[in-house]
Structure 1
Amino acid sequence: MQIGYHASHEQFSPRDLLRLVQIAEQSGFQSILSSDHFHPWSQQDGQSGFAWSWLGAAMHATTMEFGIVNAPGQRYHPAIIAQAVATLDNMFPGRFWIALGSGQALNEQITGTGWPSKELRHKRLEACADVMRRLWKGENVTRHDDIRVQDAQLYTRPSCQPTVYGAALTVSTATWVGTWADGLITVNQDIPTLQAIIDGFRQHNPNGKLILKLQVSYNSSVETAVTSAWQAWRNNTLGHMLQADLPLPQQYDAAGIHITPRHVAQQVLAATDPSVYVDAIRRYKQMGFNKIILHNVNREQDSFLAFMGREVLPSI
């Protein structure tokens, strides 16, 4: 099992994140998960660095494994993402993986082509995954159905087929992801729901890899940890339906104004006791997760990384 650190491009500038992932490696983290946003979740302290520019610099500055959650099909053509993945693998063999999701209007509607239904987004995403895998094999790809591609072929190809994870927040999506992805990536929820998501994925992919993005908040006290998580991350606790369909950061701010710190505390692990983090990681490992990515959702990244390196990671 690997313990990773989440590089949140919608919260921090690329320059800050480059420094933080280097500290993360020094602290004992083994991998990095990069977000891929055009807009942040909030106008307050929001950022919007281009993750693909940043990845080359970050991978050069460290020796860790990197992954990214990406939504091909609208903002990005899958052939371009396939080329980007192949280029990173060429420079850093075996150190990069990708997770594919159907995306949010927050990032994808900038193309001005409308925001499709979830059913259409799923069909498009599965087609994109097929296009990317065929390009990585060296095929000349043309298809005109759920995604349009004409005579695309990669001449710089990856050394081996990259691992493709599918992103899912619900049981139905996880079950579908199991039909086409190599693995599943999801976020922490209550244990029964999380187990149901795993079971749904396992129906079609009993041996696929599992990644959990564990949202936490570390600060000087539990109360401060909850408050700082509420200040920085409450808009991301609106639920998967709103999070998929709201198109603008100011609309997230408007929707998030009614969210309470208590609600955030139910979705984010806020703690100062290292044993709480150790116990949570061990519990998720027992559930079958191969990678656990810790996302400290508040602004205090340096103290979090120091705490993890000193108090938590040596115990795992």
Structure 2
Amino acid sequence: MALIGYHASHEQLPPSALLEAVQDAEAAGFDGAMCSDHLAPWGVRQGESGYAWSWLGAALARTSFSFGVVTAPGQRYHPVITAQAIATLEEMFPGRFWACLGSGEAMNEHVTGDPWPEKEFRDVRLDESHAVIARLLEGREVDVDGTVRVHRARVWSRPAKPPPLFAAAVAPHTAAHVAAWADGLVTVAQDRPALDSLVHRYREAGGRGPLSLQVHVCLADDDASALAIVRDQWRQAAVTGPRLWDLEQPEDFDAAAEGVDDATLKKSVLIATEAGDLAEQIAHRAAAGFDRLYLHHVGKDQSAFIERAERELLPALRGLL
């Protein structure tokens, strides 16, 4: 049976409230959790963006299940620093942590003042950053002079066994590219044909390990309420393709998603009033080949969603998987 996890949205809740939410999620029966490592929220009305690495230490200490983080080494983070952070968490909480490496988004990386490179360069930088991190986690000394530069680096406090290093991919060609080194793949829910294509390209290229799907959902009392929540908190999901990675400020995302229609919102967030209906939508996408699902309720009221997930959604979903 697939793991059903909870996505902790740093962009929407203060770190203290998010810590309470993830504890509630474990008590409600979720199997694990993940978060994204952001410096800024996607939109002004989301209004938060706590530091994921500090929060992860507290969350792992306050719960007993597994956690993962999606992070982008190479610009805002030197890969040596990312390796040290990964090693420290896994050493303290062995077998409970994973990291997913991605090529990054301008909204988080532009703050260094360095130019935001083209995707081809970012992909090469990700490959090289992964190689640095993996070698450091093995206890090796690393020297590199490429898209990233490393001088005689070592990570001294390491876990007995390195945690898995997954890769983030949204497009099939990216999934095929990272298959050479990824211990697994993490992506976000799209329509079923897009997911089928992505999974096929990853496996065809030799991709191994678990496939994880982050699913944005809104379970509300009626359609109007659900759409109002999505429009207020997650309308930036309507911004897709290369433009998504190149915008710099929350205000830019708000402007890009201004006037988005309801049909487009429903393509980016799974909306339902009945838990059984939502479970069917999620299970349909999971059937593309995903081993792990991470559910993200896009509203700020996480307690109501977690309570309803415990009563209705999780049992319904487990009955379908």
User: Same-fold call, TM > 0.5?
Assistant: yes
Letter in 1 for 2:116: W
Instruction: Find the counterpart in structure 2 of residue 188 from structure 1.
Output: 189
Structure 2 gaps of 5+ residues are none
Instruction: Find the counterpart in structure 2 of residue 148 from structure 1.
Output: 149
Looking at structure 2, the residues matched to 43 and 206 of structure 1 have their Cα atoms a distance apart, in angstroms, of: 37
Instruction: Find the counterpart in structure 2 of residue 111 from structure 1.
Output: 112
Contact 1:221 1:272 in 2 (8 A): yes
Instruction: Find the counterpart in structure 2 of residue 19 from structure 1.
Output: 20
Instruction: Find the counterpart in structure 2 of residue 291 from structure 1.
Output: 292
User: SS at 2:268's partner residue?
Assistant: coil
Looking at structure 1, the residues matched to 246 and 59 of structure 2 have their Cα atoms a distance apart, in angstroms, of: 31
Letter in 1 for 2:230: A
Contact 1:202 1:208 in 2 (8 A): no
Verify: 1:97 aligned to 2:120, yes or no: no
- Any residues of structure 2 matched to 1:68-217 within 5 Å, and which? 68-217=69-218
Looking at structure 1, the residues matched to 289 and 298 of structure 2 have their Cα atoms a distance apart, in angstroms, of: 24
User: SS at 1:266's partner residue?
Assistant: helix
Looking at structure 2, the residues matched to 76 and 234 of structure 1 have their Cα atoms a distance apart, in angstroms, of: 28
Verify: 1:310 aligned to 2:311, yes or no: yes
Q: Residue 180 of structure 1: CA displacement?
A: 1.6
Identity %: 42
Structure 1 gaps of 5+ residues are none
Flag the 1:281–1:262 CA change in 2: closer, same or farther, 3 A.
Answer: closer
Contact 1:230 1:260 in 2 (8 A): no
Looking at structure 1, the residues matched to 172 and 46 of structure 2 have their Cα atoms a distance apart, in angstroms, of: 33
User: SS at 1:66's partner residue?
Assistant: strand
Count of equivalent residues: 316
Looking at structure 2, the residues matched to 288 and 108 of structure 1 have their Cα atoms a distance apart, in angstroms, of: 32
Instruction: Find the counterpart in structure 2 of residue 47 from structure 1.
Output: 48
Q: Residue 209 of structure 1: CA displacement?
A: 1.4
Letter in 1 for 2:214: K
Instruction: Find the counterpart in structure 2 of residue 224 from structure 1.
Output: 225
CA-atom RMSD, angstroms? 1.2
Contact 2:76 2:111 in 1 (8 A): yes
User: SS at 1:68's partner residue?
Assistant: strand
Instruction: Find the counterpart in structure 1 of residue 34 from structure 2.
Output: 33
Looking at structure 2, the residues matched to 67 and 291 of structure 1 have their Cα atoms a distance apart, in angstroms, of: 12
Instruction: Find the counterpart in structure 2 of residue 253 from structure 1.
Output: 254
Query: What do the CA deviations read for 1:57-115 (whole angstroms, capped 9, x no partner)?
Result: 11101001000000000000111111111101111111000111111100000000110
Q: TM-score, normalization: structure 1? A: 0.97
Q: Residue 254 of structure 1: CA displacement?
A: 1.3
Flag the 1:187–1:24 CA change in 2: closer, same or farther, 3 A.
Answer: same
Query: What do the CA deviations read for 1:261-300 (whole angstroms, capped 9, x no partner)?
Result: 3211122110121212332343344322111000111222
Looking at structure 2, the residues matched to 207 and 112 of structure 1 have their Cα atoms a distance apart, in angstroms, of: 36
